[in-house]
Chains A and B, each alone.
Chain A
Amino acid sequence: MTHAAKETLVVSNLHVSVDGQEILKGVNLEIGRGEIHALMGPNGSGKSTLGYAIMGHPSYEVTSGTIELVDADGTRHDILAMEPDQRARAGVFLAFQRPMSIPGVRLADFLRHAVTNVRNPDRKEGHELMPMRDFRTELKSKMGELSMDTEFARRYVNDGFSGGEMKRAEILQLAMLRPKFAVLDETDSGLDADAVRLASESIARIGGAEMGILIITHHEQLLEHNIPLKTHVMLGGKIVESGGPELAQELHKRGYERIRAAYPEAAAAEKAMEESARAVSV
């Protein structure tokens, strides 16, 4: 690897298995802070798996390869050695494709824990939380920017949220936590047309020059205000092609036929994965 001039998230030759079944078959990806990358690919190609592996989901076993945070001075931090919460505290964020609900826990209380920990990475449980007054002021202003009703913060985390509300709550958390690197896994799905536009603008504003963002999407709108520096195409558990914003447009218009034809090996892997997934579900 070359010496990086800015902080980067570096994924090298990543292999990931679930239940002994290999899903990712050698993924390479490098995202610098301030950069936007788009990750596209057919259903089941392994996009969410990459997000989970970066965040440290215990069901996703990294069998080889590395995921590292590289400081501007070249110091490397192995995030695979970290618990998911340590990764969050190190500045990594995942907006879930399907966020989990936590009944009985108000979004505001949940977020106050999250914000306090992420801003004080050494905080131990039981140490003081961010002062409620400051937290509330910040929360309300962020919710205002996202055109969210502040009543929303009193609701239980994702409990009974509509699909769109969940995604907006994920964006709110992104805005409050201001990570260095964020994977947004289909944050546009479930949003109506106006909400997608708003999300696109919000993400651009939240991200700014500080955040490295990997946008996983099947659509174009989210990329409207977030022009990707690079577009990556995943097929059969591998990134088979990378290009500029025009690649995203092409895939959106024409689908994955050309890709499958150009990368027969990955297309075969895709078939095999589909079959084994079918076998499991039977």
Chain B
Amino acid sequence: MSTSTVTPSAPAFDRESFDRLVGASALPEWAIAARRQAFERLESLTLPDRRDENWMRTDLRLFKPKAWGPRPAPIRAGVADEGLLAPAILSGDLASESYADFEAAASPVGPATLGGRFAAVDGHVVRDELDPALAAQGVVFGSSDRLLAAHAELFRPHWFSVIDAGCDWFAALHAAFHAASAVLYVPPRVKIAAPLHVISGISEGGVDTSHVLVVLGEGAEATVLTETAGGGPAGGAGGFHCGGTEIVVGRGGLLRMVNLQNWNTGVWHVARQRALVHENGRLQWTLGALGSRLSQVAQDVALVGRGADAQVNGVMFTEGRQHLVYNTLQHHEAPSCRSDLLYKGALQDRSRLVWRGMIKVDKAAQKTDGYQRNDNLMLSDEARADSIPGLEIEADDVRCTHGATSGRVDAEQIFYAQARGLSADEAARLVVAGFFQQVFDRITIPQVREALARAIGSRIRRIT
């Protein structure tokens, strides 16, 4: 295992690297063909620019595409252990400080084991495990290199067909160079209580292009936790993540999905994520974002079968000079579906958070119930938040609403809490925790809620 740091001669995302990747690949021919197609597309594209409305509020001037490429080996393998969610589940210690949780002590404390664990560092798989009891029920989980060839019938129909692999330079790069990717298949009617955990770590100056594909059969249930960790701080070698997530919830299935982005502050994070929810399927999808230098995330939900339901939660905390951009789409393609998006962000220092949301209702999607809301809490005068909701409705019998708020921590609230003996910092943290409570209430996995709350709490500094 190499421990050398990245040198300027590190490989780039070019033909040489591509040929090496394909040469060493264990993927089946159909997956390699998809790679090749994406690579051709990549060569015809340039970096997105600000004329593209999805990228209008994203500053890529300092992103140097040639500086990044596949890393030949994990630089620092230990980074895969630095996630927040696996320890939160495994410690078995909810340790909630909440009165309400205490009062409700009879209710379940939540899962305390993981059904499977997958970890990658700098684009290399370092852990690939599934509880044998789940495997015996037909659950397939782990490395795509290992599983795509063996289970083509399960994955081929969905692999890079849920997201648009050619829509821009990053999407094409991801589709051409994805590595250390994870797939999950849950057979019809199999219900998994223990979460499946996927972590992608990078070393300082590292690169991650991992892909995640989750397929739930009819009536299947699962909880998937994915997280990212590592990379270098702003000002150093940083890191680069160019990822993709594809989700298919079968008829009547239920997926709880959590994606926690917790990179160090020097990491470029570009992710394209899309879910298809079939008839009466339910998706509860939570994005947590705490890190990165710059994030550009597309989070799309398509409700493709009657009665499908998607709840989308966002918990964002930004600080320093972080700049996070989210483009969300709730696409109602079928009638009588419900989508409910709530993004909440707290901004510290000179950070910037952009949310651009769209509810799109097709002509066929009568009786749509769509909601989107973005609340931001400004913890400094220099932070900036943009909320841009949008509706595009072609059906006539729908209920679609949106809202956005932006507020500040009120000095009077801090004084009130101080007058009751709370230090100013403690008061500020309580006020911010209160701000997130509404979205935390929607996250049904208590340990995830607690881990997010603590991570945010630890980052809040005195509010001036």
Q: Do A and B come from one complex?
A: yes
- A160 CB within 8 Å of chain B: no
Task: Report B417-445 CB contacts with A as 1/0, cut-off 8 Å.
Answer: 11111111111011101111110000000
**Complex interface: chain B residues within 8 A of A117 (CB):** 420-423, 426
Report yes or no: A154 in contact with B99, Cβ–Cβ below 8 A.
yes
A-B contact count (CB 8 A): 109
**Complex interface: chain A residues within 8 A of B425 (CB):** 125
How far, in Å, is A98 (CB) from chain B's closest CB? 9
| Interface of chain B: mostly helix, strand, loop or mixed | helix
**Complex interface: chain B residues within 8 A of A118 (CB):** 420-421
Report yes or no: B421 in contact with A58, Cβ–Cβ below 8 A.
no
Report yes or no: B102 in contact with A136, Cβ–Cβ below 8 A.
yes
Segment from B32-40, B190-198, B261-269, B405-413 that makes contact with A: B405-413
Given contacts A100-B412, A105-B430, A125-B425, contact A85 B418 (CB under 8 A): yes
Task: Report B77-114 CB contacts with A as 1/0, cut-off 8 Å.
Answer: 00000000000000000000111101100000000000
Residue of B nearest to A96 (CB): B416
- B13 CB within 8 Å of chain A: no
Given contacts A100-B412, A104-B433, A105-B434, contact A132 B99 (CB under 8 A): yes
- A94 CB within 8 Å of chain B: yes
**Complex interface: chain A residues within 8 A of B431 (CB):** 102, 105
- B415 CB within 8 Å of chain A: yes
A62 to B416, CA, bound (A): 19
A136 to B438, CA, bound (A): 23
Task: Report A89-126 CB contacts with B as 1/0, cut-off 8 Å.
Answer: 10001101001111111101111111101100000010
Report yes or no: B430 in contact with A102, Cβ–Cβ below 8 A.
yes
Candidates A88, A105, A113; contact of B437 at CB < 8 Å:
A105
Given contacts A100-B412, A136-B99, A154-B100, contact A105 B422 (CB under 8 A): no
Interface centre among A83, A117, A136 (most CB of B within 10 A): A117
Report yes or no: B99 in contact with A109, Cβ–Cβ below 8 A.
yes
A102 to B98, CA, bound (A): 15
- A266 CB within 8 Å of chain B: no
Given contacts A88-B420, A114-B420, A173-B420, contact A109 B412 (CB under 8 A): no
- Count of interface residues, chain B, beta-carbon cutoff 8 Å: 32
**Complex interface: chain B residues within 8 A of A112 (CB):** 99
How far, in Å, is B105 (CB) from chain A's closest CB? 10
How far, in Å, is A226 (CB) from chain B's closest CB? 21
- A237 CB within 8 Å of chain B: no
A28 to B417, CA, bound (A): 27
The residues in A between 121 and 139 inclusive whose CB is less than 8 angstroms from any CB of B are 125, 129, 132, 136
Report yes or no: B421 in contact with A104, Cβ–Cβ below 8 A.
no
Report yes or no: A57 in contact with B415, Cβ–Cβ below 8 A.
yes
- A40 CB within 8 Å of chain B: no
- A153 CB within 8 Å of chain B: yes
Report yes or no: A113 in contact with B430, Cβ–Cβ below 8 A.
yes
Candidates B411, B415, B422, B424; contact of A113 at CB < 8 Å:
B422
**Complex interface: chain B residues within 8 A of A85 (CB):** 418-424, 427
Report yes or no: B435 in contact with A104, Cβ–Cβ below 8 A.
yes
A139 to B45, CA, bound (A): 64
Report yes or no: B433 in contact with A105, Cβ–Cβ below 8 A.
yes
Given contacts A104-B433, A125-B425, contact A88 B97 (CB under 8 A): no
Report yes or no: A84 in contact with B415, Cβ–Cβ below 8 A.
yes
Given contacts A118-B421, A129-B97, contact A99 B416 (CB under 8 A): yes
**Complex interface: chain A residues within 8 A of B415 (CB):** 55, 57-58, 84, 100
A112 to B98, CA, bound (A): 10
Candidates A58, A108, A110, A153; contact of B417 at CB < 8 Å:
A110
Report yes or no: A102 in contact with B417, Cβ–Cβ below 8 A.
yes
- A156 CB within 8 Å of chain B: yes
**Complex interface: chain B residues within 8 A of A136 (CB):** 99, 102-103
A101 to B407, CA, bound (A): 14
Report yes or no: A89 in contact with B421, Cβ–Cβ below 8 A.
yes
**Complex interface: chain B residues within 8 A of A132 (CB):** 99, 102
A102 to B377, CA, bound (A): 13
**Complex interface: chain A residues within 8 A of B433 (CB):** 104-105
Interface centre among B418, B429, B433 (most CB of A within 10 A): B418
How far, in Å, is B76 (CB) from chain A's closest CB? 29
- A177 CB within 8 Å of chain B: yes
A102 to B409, CA, bound (A): 10
The residues in B between 355 and 411 inclusive whose CB is less than 8 angstroms from any CB of A are 410-411
**Complex interface: chain A residues within 8 A of B97 (CB):** 109, 129
A156 to B437, CA, bound (A): 10
Residue of A nearest to B97 (CB): A129
**Complex interface: chain A residues within 8 A of B438 (CB):** 104
Candidates A58, A83, A101, A106; contact of B100 at CB < 8 Å:
A106
Residue of A nearest to B438 (CB): A104
Residue of B nearest to A90 (CB): B421
Report yes or no: B421 in contact with A88, Cβ–Cβ below 8 A.
yes
A89 to B419, CA, bound (A): 9
Residue of A nearest to B432 (CB): A104
How far, in Å, is B429 (CB) from chain A's closest CB? 8
A216 to B457, CA, bound (A): 37
How far, in Å, is B201 (CB) from chain A's closest CB? 27
**Complex interface: chain A residues within 8 A of B427 (CB):** 85
A117 to B426, CA, bound (A): 11
Report yes or no: A102 in contact with B416, Cβ–Cβ below 8 A.
yes
Report yes or no: A154 in contact with B416, Cβ–Cβ below 8 A.
no
> B residues touching A (Cβ–Cβ < 8 Å)?
97-100, 102-103, 410-413, 415-427, 429-431, 433-438
Known: A85-B421, A85-B427, A103-B435. 14 other contacts (CB 8 A): A85-B418, A85-B424, A88-B418, A96-B419, A101-B413, A102-B413, A109-B97, A110-B420, A113-B421, A113-B426, A114-B417, A118-B420, A125-B429, A154-B103
6 residue pairs of the A-B complex, CB under 8 angstroms, read: A58-B415, A103-B434, A113-B430, A114-B420, A117-B426, A132-B102
> A residues touching B (Cβ–Cβ < 8 Å)?
55-58, 83-85, 87-89, 93-94, 96, 99-106, 108-115, 117-118, 125, 129, 132, 136, 153-154, 156, 173, 177
The 5 closest A-B pairs by CB, nearest first: A104-B434, A104-B437, A117-B421, A108-B99, A84-B418
